[in-house]
Amino acid sequence: MLGRCAGAALFTVAVCMAQSPSSLPETAAGPATTPEHIADPVPLEERAVPVTAPGPGEAGVPIALSLDSALLTAIANNRSIEIGRVELDVNRTYVPEARAAFDPLLLGSVSAGRSKEQRASTTDERSSKLSLLSRISGSSVTSGSGSSGQNTTPLLDAYQRALSLGQEDLNDINAIVAYLEQPEHPFTKTRDSDGFVTVQNYLPTGTLVFLTVDMSHSDTNRAPDDYRGAWSLGVSQALLQGRGLDVNLVELKQARNLVAQSEAEFRRLVLEISRLVEDTYWELVLAHEVLKIREFALTLADEQLKRNEDLYSVGKVVVGDVMSAKAERASRTADLAGARAGIRNQTLALIRLLNPGAAGMWQLEFTPLDRPEANHVVIDAEVSHQLAMLYRPELDMSKLELANRSLDVVRARNGLLPRLDLTASYGRTSRGTASGDASAFLDSSTFDNFRIGLNFETSILYRGERARHRRARFLEDEAALTIADVEQAVSTQVRQAAVEVQQQWERISATQEAVKSRLEELRIAQDRNAVGKATNLDVQIVQRNLIQAEVDEATARVRYSEALTALYAAEGTLLERRGIRLNLESDDGEQQ
């Protein structure tokens, strides 16, 4: 019977546990869905390979690098992204920690001890014992003389009368007889042991369910052994403060929102790193373009210097023209050195982002394979704004922050209620002088125990509770205002990025036209210089204008690609447009 009762209690706990928080609604926001009008490219890992270390004998050989390979390598190896992954894993641990509040709890205790203490007085102890026996047996019992059992007949008579009593009375008589037969001691010596086991479970409804089994044994020189056993099944239900799913799931929902915020933050980090990789890649492309232009400029200076030297040899120009040409050549040589340094600086910046992990990675050199965007992309600022409202992780983060602040309001409002709990318990006890008596009556309904009651607790002034509630409301209002501010900032950023894209596209055609005009101007100036109608300075000025026009044209093409990247980053769609898929599933096997 005891086993069936314990099994029923555990079944009750299991049924209550079936209302697991994992099946309850939560406020955590998921990732934004992909709108249909965005092209779905081939996943990045299927169309690119990461940067690999050069093989033996290939040291110093530039690595051919595409933009896709650069992105793939950065996402796999970038240190900031690695740190972001660890932070995400750290925040995920708060979910099972919050769920643990609703996990079953097993409590237990076992102890044993011995005590020996003085008695206050032993005078007339035997007379007191015999008087007690006389009242029970209904006959006079005298103390007699001696201590060799002369008074055993009244004891037996009392015992025989007790046989006609009930079992419980008989147990009491046996205990008294044993007590009377014990020798008198000036001290009390006790050995005792006890233990209990409790299984309890706190449920999201504000309900505490528990099952307790208790056993104890006491052995003293003044009384026979005392064996006790008990079990009880109880429940405590919050009626005001702490009642219901809303308040009891606050921490779990906030933990899940924290994970969702961490995922949004990780997405923001990958988005930012991807934007930096693309910008740095295009800056490296521009550095290589500028190097070619500077090499061309040096070629022009060499040709002009040779032309002036030839004209000076035949007396058509003065020595100052030759010296001017040499100075121009020296200046363009310095520009060429600056272009080489620019390539090296952009290479180092790209290595920092890619973190290829190769031995001697700081000595790596890259040859970019992709050219800047030359096709016109139609931009609609309103469409970009709508995409940003769906994709920008900062908006998800601010909305989740508002959800958490609203949960704080729920918790603070709960604190304004008094504590009123309904408690109820049912159990059985068993007691006797033999070891089996501790469980002999645990399955008997004769010794049922019931208790029901109310526990009440309340603050008098509620000063702190009201202050916490006001603070929670203020923070909720602040979070709501933050969402509006973030939306406005995102909208401004998107529209400015759209303006920049249009501006850079218009600059491309303008700078290309300027290059054509400067080339024709240089041809004319060189012809005029050959017949003495233009000075060496005139030619140098035209050359400088041409060089600057070519730099401007290359810069415009690169800036246009960077402007598109900035626009897609402002929309929050850069990862989707590049085929980057983030796997944010937890791989530690822990139930979230």
Q: Which two tokens stand for residue 234?
A: 């109880």
The answer to whether the Cα torsion of 406, 34, 558, 380 is positive or negative is negative
Buried-exposed string 139-174: b where 16+ CB fall within 10 A, e elsewhere: eebeeeeeeeeebeebbeebbeebeeeeeeeebebe
The predicted pLDDT at position 55 comes to: 62
Question: For residue range 296-347, what is the model confidence (pLDDT) as tens digits?
Answer: 999 989 988 888 888 788 877 778 888 988 998 999 999 999 999 999 999 9
Residues 295 and 425 in one domain: no
Question: For residue range 281-290, what is the model confidence (pLDDT) as tens digits?
Answer: 999 999 999 9
Residues 573 and 546 in one domain: yes
Q: How far apart are CA 495 and CA 85, in angstroms?
A: 31
Question: For residue range 67-104, what is the model confidence (pLDDT) as tens digits?
Answer: 999 999 999 999 999 999 999 999 999 999 999 999 99
Residues 234 and 256 in one domain: no
* Confidence bin at 151 (pLDDT 50/70/90): very low
Query: Given strand 207-220, what is the order of strands in its sheet?
Result: 105-118, 187-203, 207-220, 223-238, 419-432, 448-457
Q: Is the pLDDT of residue 150 over 50?
A: no
Look at residues 427, 457, 487 and tell me which one is the last residue of a structural domain: 457
The predicted pLDDT at position 393 comes to: 95
The larger pLDDT score, comparing residue 556 to residue 7, is at 556
Q: Which two tokens stand for residue 361?
A: 């990675």
Look at residues 147, 163, 184 and tell me which one is the last residue of a structural domain: 184
The length of the chain, given as a count of residues: 592
Lowest mean pLDDT among 258-262, 439-443, 464-468: 439-443
Q: Which two tokens stand for residue 369?
A: 């394979």
In a domain, 441, yes or no: yes
* Confidence bin at 7 (pLDDT 50/70/90): very low
The answer to whether the Cα torsion of 334, 340, 341, 343 is positive or negative is positive
57 sits in the region (left: phi over 0; alpha: psi -120 to 50; else beta) called left
In a domain, 85, yes or no: yes
Query: Highest-confidence range of 149-158, 219-228, 568-577, by mean pLDDT?
Result: 568-577
Residue with tokens 């000075």, as numbered in its chain: 535
Q: Is the pLDDT of residue 212 over 50?
A: yes
Residue with tokens 């205790």, as numbered in its chain: 109
Residues 214 and 234 in one domain: yes
Q: Name 584's Cβ contacts closer than 8 Å, sequence gap at least 6.
A: 31, 88, 263, 266, 267
**Closest to 193 measured CA to CA, from 115, 117, 113, 116:** 113
The answer to whether the pTM exceeds 0.85 is no
In the chain, how many H helices and how many E strands? Answer: 17, 8
Q: How far apart are CA 230 and CA 196, in angstroms?
A: 9
Domain limits at 342? 31-38+78-101+249-414+464-577
* Confidence bin at 479 (pLDDT 50/70/90): very high
Residues 294 and 363 in one domain: yes
Look at residues 184, 204, 224 and tell me which one is the last residue of a structural domain: 184
Residues 398 and 495 in one domain: yes
Residues 352 and 485 in one domain: yes
Q: Is the pLDDT of residue 394 over 70?
A: yes
CA angle 524, 527, 533 (to 5 degrees): 95
In a domain, 156, yes or no: yes
Residues 383 and 485 in one domain: yes
Residues 554 and 530 in one domain: yes
Q: Is the pLDDT of residue 387 over 50?
A: yes
In a domain, 583, yes or no: no
Q: Which two tokens stand for residue 523?
A: 């041809």
In a domain, 54, yes or no: no
Domain count, the chain: 3
* Confidence bin at 5 (pLDDT 50/70/90): very low
Is-contact 558 289, C-beta < 8 A?
Answer: yes
The answer to whether the Cα torsion of 400, 401, 406, 410 is positive or negative is positive
The predicted pLDDT at position 17 comes to: 39
In a domain, 380, yes or no: yes
CATH number at residue 346: 1.20.1600.10
In a domain, 50, yes or no: no
Residues 295 and 344 in one domain: yes
Q: How far is CA 196 from the centre of its chain?
A: 38
The predicted pLDDT at position 16 comes to: 42
Question: For residue range 152-161, what is the model confidence (pLDDT) as tens digits?
Answer: 455 556 555 5
Helix residue spans in 355-392 (DSSP H)? 381-391
The predicted pLDDT at position 154 comes to: 54
* Confidence bin at 478 (pLDDT 50/70/90): very high
In a domain, 67, yes or no: no
Residues 149 and 195 in one domain: no
Mean pLDDT, the chain, integer: 84
The predicted pLDDT at position 145 comes to: 42
Q: What is the DSSP letter of 141?
A: -
Is-contact 179 157, C-beta < 8 A?
Answer: no
Q: Which two tokens stand for residue 15?
A: 């049924």
Across 164-171, average pLDDT: 56
User: What's phi and psi for 244, nearest 5 deg?
Assistant: 95, 165
Residues 383 and 425 in one domain: no
* Confidence bin at 24 (pLDDT 50/70/90): very low
Q: How far apart are CA 319 and CA 324, in angstroms?
A: 9
